């Protein structure tokens, strides 16, 4: 009986300890529900209606899954094309940013002069808003008076229509890499600086070469940070809107109409069908959640 009473007291003490953090967490939970929960519920609700921009409340009707049927099965929908180029851009841009970011971080991890100046220069694209960066790249990539074509013409004797149908996607990719590679560099540089020195010293004593140290010590130790960086960049690129909107407006035609631009065109630009745009937004959120869950499981598997 005494053991049963003791176990009950321990359970009550444990539950009281678990509840002791609630007063500190509750304000943040309330704010998150207001900022995330309520808009998400409104978005899902609108996706089941026929709501169009500036429609009167009395004309709004519940139409069930009709919006989802239209975006998935309509022959005129561009959803699959927008999802395809968004996923392709996410994969390519994330891989290139990781590779370039790791190379730059490894160079910064060496004893070089003016390191603080280089880090300060890396902070400029990170601090710059994508809309301003897009305007800069729009001027640089201009086919008539852009500085890039000026350099190409003087060095090689030809110019490129960067924002035309053949190179618009490449232009968005270049601007995206330039904008966010410094962010990846700074994260990986911080990770390299925090690695313990003992494994590297032991590997050098055992005669390991640079390639073995890189693939058997450095990258495995950085794996959680690399996965976290992939998570951040994948979500960022997947929902990208402002950079391609300012740079190409989704054109020429629909060449660079990423999923964010597609939602904007359906809901606020051409079709003005907010209900259908909300349905596409729900699909985008589910895709981002699926990508996030996969990467989080990989990080947890690494910790276990």
Q: Strand locations in the chain, DSSP E?
A: none
Average confidence (pLDDT) over 150-160: 90
Q: Quickly tell me which residue has 């929908």 as its tokens.
A: 77
Q: What is the DSSP string of 106-158?
A: HHHTS--TTHHHHHHHHHHHHHS-HHHHHHHHHHHT-TTT-HHHHHHHHHHS-
Token duo for residue 74: 């309509």
pLDDT tens digits for range 267-290: 887 778 889 999 999 999 999 999
pLDDT tens digits for range 204-249: 888 888 888 888 888 888 988 999 899 989 999 998 888 999 898 8
**For 301, phi and psi rounded to 5 degrees?**
-60, -35
Average predicted confidence (pLDDT) for the chain: 85
Give the separation between CA 49 and CA 44, rounded to whole angstroms.
9
Q: Is the pLDDT of residue 164 over 60?
A: yes
- Give the pTM: 0.84
pLDDT at 105: 92
Q: Is the pLDDT of residue 302 over 70?
A: no
Question: pLDDT higher for 158 or 5?
Answer: 158
CATH number of this structure's domain 78-303, picked from the four choices 3.20.20.70, 1.10.3720.10, 1.10.20.60, 3.40.50.300: 1.10.3720.10
Q: pLDDT band for 6, please (50, 70, 90 cuts).
A: very low
């Amino acid at each position: 009986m005494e053991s049963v009473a003791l176990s009950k007291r321990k359970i009550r003490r444990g539950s009281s300890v678990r509840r002791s953090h609630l007063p500190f967490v509750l304000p943040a939970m309330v704010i998150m529900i207001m900022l995330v929960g309520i808009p998400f519920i409104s978005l899902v609700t609108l996706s089941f209606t026929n709501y169009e921009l500036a429609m009167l409340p009395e004309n709004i009707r519940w139409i069930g899954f009709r919006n989802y049927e239209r975006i998935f099965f309509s022959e005129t929908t561009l959803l699959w094309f927008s999802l395809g180029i968004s996923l392709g851009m996410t994969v390519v841009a994330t891989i290139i940013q990781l590779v370039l970011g790791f190379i730059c971080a490894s160079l910064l991890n060496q004893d070089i002069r003016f390191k603080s100046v280089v880090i300060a220069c890396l902070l400029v694209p990170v601090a710059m808003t994508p809309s301003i960066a897009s305007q800069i790249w729009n001027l640089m990539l201009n086919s008539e008076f852009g500085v890039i074509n000026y350099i190409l013409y003087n060095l090689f004797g030809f110019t490129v229509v960067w924002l035309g149908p053949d190179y618009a996607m490449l232009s968005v990719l270049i601007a995206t890499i330039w904008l966010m590679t410094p962010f990846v560099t700074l994260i990986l540089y911080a990770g390299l600086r925090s690695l313990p020195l003992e494994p590297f010293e032991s590997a050098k004593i055992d005669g390991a070469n640079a390639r073995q140290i890189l693939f058997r010590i450095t990258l495995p130790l950085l794996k959680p940070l690399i996965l976290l960086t992939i998570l951040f960049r994948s979500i960022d690129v997947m929902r990208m809107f402002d950079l391609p909107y300012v740079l190409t407006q989704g054109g020429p035609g629909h060449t660079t109409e990423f999923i964010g631009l597609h939602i904007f065109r359906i809901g606020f630009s051409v079709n003005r069908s907010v209900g259908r745009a909300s349905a596409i937004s729900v699909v985008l959120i589910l895709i981002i959640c699926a990508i996030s869950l996969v990467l989080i499981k990989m990080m947890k598997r690494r910790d276990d």
